[in-house]
Structure 1
């Protein structure tokens, strides 16, 4: 379990712990918004919630009948919503592991889900090519957006909750009005390569877009321009989910998994700062703690682990 690091301004991340609680590929990892917990989703049909302090399992969310592809935390860190191949979304009360609501409407596998900041709405995307906006209280879809011509790989709100960005295997990345479901603009429409991930930056001004040609780009969505390119990782097959981080010296980072079994860290300017090695299969998902310098990463079928990395 090693890490290789070019000379850089950040203190290097090192492996803290390997968590081997899932029995099949781990598809997603995310920290709660208060940072006290993190959760993993798996093709073993379950989600597991861990304590960030002790790095031990505190609850096991069981109920889906097929693999779970994605999860999202409510802003108060009380609830998790999960997206599954069983065509449903489930909302769970984290501490009791109770499923409190099942959202039905997708006609194929549900691949991605995210709460808005207010946590009164959810947005999901699936293999039925739609983006759906849900009222959390009623569990009903308020918008069904015929967004793409191929499976939707990502869908999420901006910080203010008034915009949604979606990406698809059809090669497009689009922005939608969250209140009306109306199309706002198309950032990318190229057919090939497929858009495997899209997410607003924390300040809402940019969109981070991953494509299946080993590229990550930061877009100014208001101007419709690509601003930065991040390379070095391998991404041709899987929908790997990159993210944003802030290190101890307040330098913002881009973090992504890779099909070469590593985790990559870049500064915003595009310089690769560190490569974390140790997983034994594609690193499909990474997440960064909201306040301390901790990264979690998830490995696919030959790995099945969640790994915790901290700065030394």
Structure 2
């Protein structure tokens, strides 16, 4: 006997998504997903100068902005058979890659992880054991005993008020949550640390793209970033060195925290790969 389940809206994503699934004998037999909001950007572009399209199309989203801008300007450049300068391509690539790292961090920790991580269970964890676990997995400096004790105290403060703030409406205590308390504390600590780390990626985009969200430096044929060594209005050596430093910090977090957490958490939910 098949049962129809509808989830509308799907939470922890940006936008409006509806999912309908038919479930038979505990397995999804059919599934449909549909966007529930028409933005009409195509109609807005009608009659406008195509050189302005990149600035308009990225307004389709306040999160995944740069990809729409770059895709739009590339479409115009392809139509006009334009080749952009090498330095312009470097700047575009850095913006896209910084935004991609930002999106991966935000998607995993802040949009998806709380479906798998039990925040309240972390209060049962031994911070010293959680620290030992973290240090056995990577050399990340944020895995110290002091850090985990501090995070547990912050969580206890949230829970004691009865107002969980950003952690409200979670599935805390649900039997499908499989992570041990120490892993939950580890994940919650990295969730909070990721809020700071994702800022590094945004700083890169804002320096190279003039602002974020919605970059302002793209132009058909290249970018509008003049290079100089002594002007605060353009890309200076100091700003480029700052970009390099933030790239290094992002690299450290991705290798020693993000990838490790993905592997560790997925190991507890391996059976989920057989569903559907």
Looking at secondary structure, tell me which structure has more strand per residue.
1
Report TM bin, short chain: under 0.3
Which protein has greater RCO, CA pairs closer than 8 Å, 6+ apart? Answer: 2
Looking at secondary structure, tell me which structure has more helix per residue.
2
